[in-house]
Amino acid sequence: MSSPADNVLARSSARDIGDDLRRRILDGEFVTGARLPSEHALADEYKTSRATIRTALAAVARRGLIESHRNAGWFVSLVDQVQGFDRLRSFSQWAESRGIRPGGRIIECERVHATVREARLLRVALGAQLLRFTRLRLLDGRVVMIERSTWAPWVMPVIAAMPHDVASTTRVLEAAGIQAVRGTHRISAVPASSHDARMLGVRRSSPLLAIERSTFARDGRVVEFGEDRYLPGEFAFEMTVDQR
């Protein structure tokens, strides 16, 4: 019979293994639709029992990352795509790490003069010329998000020269020697406007997941700020806090 101390150790091991599997999935080691190693193989890898592995897998499944297929094993889930905030990755980089084809289509693009808020966020003079666009983001050809971005003057020539069907602005910027190395995110829920509803194919006032973001270059200059609005039920964003 196992002792209480053994049970605590088993729970701790299952938790740690579950956290490690979650990180491996988010990092793209196991892409969407992929079959995980068998319970026996995972038990050998983590040097633990199959019972502990089953507990760890159940915990990962409760987060919506994997699902069990009868007599076939555990598979990375095709629903509730999850992205972590533990490192800065673009939409395209994240999608490709999960084995999904990203896409984009700029549907509105205009040059504007910086408002008070835009001047503060982009650290430019009031009235400075900026470039603002609205882009639909796609996964495997399906629209899942509206991206609205306002770009700082120093990157405008690069952004203005992009084709409207560009899949990754991050790669275009990197090719021009501009690399975003830091970002901030603010998460909220918002109702879909009439415009959003038409673009995403949902009812007006449907709840959308909104992510306000700012990105910064290595030298501290602001590259852009914007807001992404995701279809409900398509994505979850996860942050892990460890005080150990």
3-state secondary structure of 171: helix
Domains and CATH numbers, the chain: 4-79 (1.10.10.10), 82-238 (3.40.1410.10)
Structure confidence by residue, pLDDT tens digits, 94-153: 777 767 789 999 999 999 999 999 999 999 999 999 999 999 999 888 899 999 999 999
- pLDDT reading at 1 higher than 60: no
Burial of 84 (0-12, 13-18, 19+ CB in 10 A): middle
Q: Of 51, 139, 150, 60, whose CA–CA distance to 102 is shortest?
A: 139
DSSP class per residue in 58-80: HHHHHTTSEEEETTTEEEE-SSS
State how far the Cα of 85 lies from the Cα of 38, in Å rounded to an integer.
29
- pLDDT reading at 9 higher than 80: no
- pLDDT reading at 79 higher than 50: no
Residue type at 117 in one-letter notation? R
Start-to-end C-alpha separation, the chain: 31
Structure confidence by residue, pLDDT tens digits, 182-207: 888 888 889 999 999 999 988 899 88
What pLDDT, on the 0 to 100 scale, is given for residue 183? Answer: 83
Q: Which residue has the higher pLDDT, 9 or 175?
A: 175
CB 231 within 8 A of CB 144: yes
Q: What does the pLDDT average to over 19-30?
A: 79
What pLDDT, on the 0 to 100 scale, is given for residue 15? Answer: 86
24 Cβ contact partners less than 8 Å away, ≥ 6 residues apart: 30
- pLDDT reading at 6 higher than 60: no
What pLDDT, on the 0 to 100 scale, is given for residue 239? Answer: 56
3-state secondary structure of 198: helix
Question: Which tokens is 130 given?
Answer: 């900026």
Structure confidence by residue, pLDDT tens digits, 202-244: 889 988 989 898 999 988 999 999 999 998 766 666 555 454 5
- pTM attached to this predicted model: 0.64
- pLDDT reading at 10 higher than 60: no
- pLDDT reading at 166 higher than 60: yes
Q: Which residue has the higher pLDDT, 232 or 73?
A: 73
State how far the Cα of 58 lies from the Cα of 47, in Å rounded to an integer.
18
